[in-house]
Chains A and B, each alone.
Chain A
Amino acid sequence: MAPEEMDDEQVQALKEKIKNMPPEELKEFHKKQCIFCQIISGKIQSKRVYEDDEALVILDINPANPGHMLIMPKEHYAIMPQIPEETIAHLFTVVKTLSNTALRSLGVQGSNVIVANGVAAGQKAQHFMIHLIPRKEEDGLEFTMPQKDHSENELEKTQQLLSLEGARKKQRSPEQQAPPSLPVPSSIKAPLPKTVPLKPQKKETQKEEKPSSKKDSGLDLDDIARVLGAK
């Protein structure tokens, strides 16, 4: 039943019910309402690109660019802080692998990874997801990130506010020179590490795996990295 079909009393009763639900039951309730849980269970169709026991990757039906992917945990989590550490680690390892996949198969030269926590940040779904957007030169996509000048005083205060106990003892003092502003001069030339092949095999972690072919597409990650150093 959609909310507008309920009268005020019913809405109130439902709100009350949700409020008093034990966490486990509440999670079940959210799960039933969640369109992405239905995609995961297969009730709603989607274009699945990658799947394992913890993660699902589908194509976004409203893509910022061709190949725009959504990486989701199969378990229902509304927000990032609820997710166990090992799941976060796995999901972003999947992101890395799929970014590599996009570079190799779609002829793109980069990618953006975006997570939105909270409505003000652009979060729209009640199911945690990571956006992976393949990028090309002049693809019409423009994200704006203003650069602001923050005073030393503001920065020092923020540093104190955010610093973690464990890190504090190792903290460096920002006195003497003003910290350099980013981005850095374009003159950097980075000697680059060797190309990383698409993942070494680990038998017990993956059910149906094919041996990864070394010569998959002739794409050299170093080329992409090298441009960064050269530009």
Chain B
Amino acid sequence: MSNENCILCQIVGNQVPAYVIYEDDIALGILDVNGAQLGHTFIIPKNHYPILEQVPDEEIGHLFNVANKISSALFEKMKIQGTNIYVTNGIPAGQRVAHFMINVIPRLENDGINLQWAPKQLGEEEMSTVELKLKDQAQTAVVSKQAKRPSKVVEHAVVSDDDEDYYAGHLNRIP
């Protein structure tokens, strides 16, 4: 499932070159050439889904696991002090490309990136109204649990390529 006009689908299809650092059957990890920091990577599904809600659950789980691994690799390989995992979903949220992506951003002190907010003062009543609305709607939603994999696989945190022991080794370390 790809879209011929989508630049990211063209990267997936190898029609447009890119600095790919990770690839498997489902996901691609690409360095952002205009990243907020060197090492800023975005993880995309190979299939074309414009927004988060359209990505199937199995792919969501996998994509964020890849993001976690890339975050660990950034800690491991670059002198950084933190990482953000950041999704802009929809125009008001800052999404610019109509192909779902997860940003993994290396962080340093005073790096000019701001993902903080000033808390909004909401009254008790407004908080309760929001709570009820979300709760009511959430009750109609079912979060599917993916089949549990054998714990052995989880321990080694293998992505989906077979020969990734190199990477898996890093996961057991805490940055």
Q: Which residues of A contact B (CB under 8 A)?
A: 47-50, 52, 54-55, 57, 59, 61-67, 69, 79-86, 88-106, 108-123, 133, 135-137, 139-150, 154-156, 158-159, 161-167, 170-184, 187-193, 196, 198-202, 205-206, 209-210, 212-213, 216-217, 221, 224-225, 227-229, 231
Contacts and interface: CB of A to CB of B under 8 A. Distances in A.
Contacts of B111: 120
Q: Which 3 A-B pairs give the minimum distances between C-beta atoms?
A: A110-B90, A89-B61, A118-B82
Contact of B50 (A83, A142, A182, A192): A192
Contacts of A62: 119
Given A49-B134, A99-B89, A92 B23 contact: no
A109 B18 contact: no
Given A89-B62, A166-B24, A188-B6, A149 B130 contact: no
A199 B143 contact: yes
Contacts of A120: 80-82, 107-109, 111
B22 to A, nearest CB: 5
A119 B144 contact: no
A161 B37 contact: no
Contacts of A225: 50-51, 54, 98
Contacts of B89: 99, 110-113, 135
A142 B88 CA distance: 12
Contacts of A172: 14, 17-18, 20
A96 B41 CA distance: 21
A171 B23 contact: yes
B55 A96 contact: yes
B159 A81 contact: no
B144 A202 contact: yes
Nearest to A93: B57
Interface string B103-120: 101011101111111011
A162 B112 CA distance: 23
A219 to B, nearest CB: 10
Given A63-B120, A184-B8, 16 more contacts: A65-B120, A80-B85, A89-B65, A109-B92, A114-B86, A115-B86, A116-B82, A118-B82, A120-B81, A140-B120, A147-B36, A155-B19, A164-B166, A165-B167, A173-B17, A221-B53
Given A167-B21, A174-B19, A221-B54, A135 B92 contact: yes
Interface string B76-98: 01101111111111111111111
Given A110-B90, A144-B112, A221-B53, A81 B34 contact: no
A184 B60 CA distance: 23
22 contacts: A47-B127, A47-B128, A50-B143, A65-B120, A80-B85, A99-B52, A113-B85, A113-B87, A122-B115, A136-B92, A159-B31, A162-B74, A166-B24, A167-B21, A172-B18, A180-B16, A180-B33, A181-B34, A182-B33, A187-B5, A193-B49, A228-B97
B131 A59 contact: yes
A112 B49 contact: no
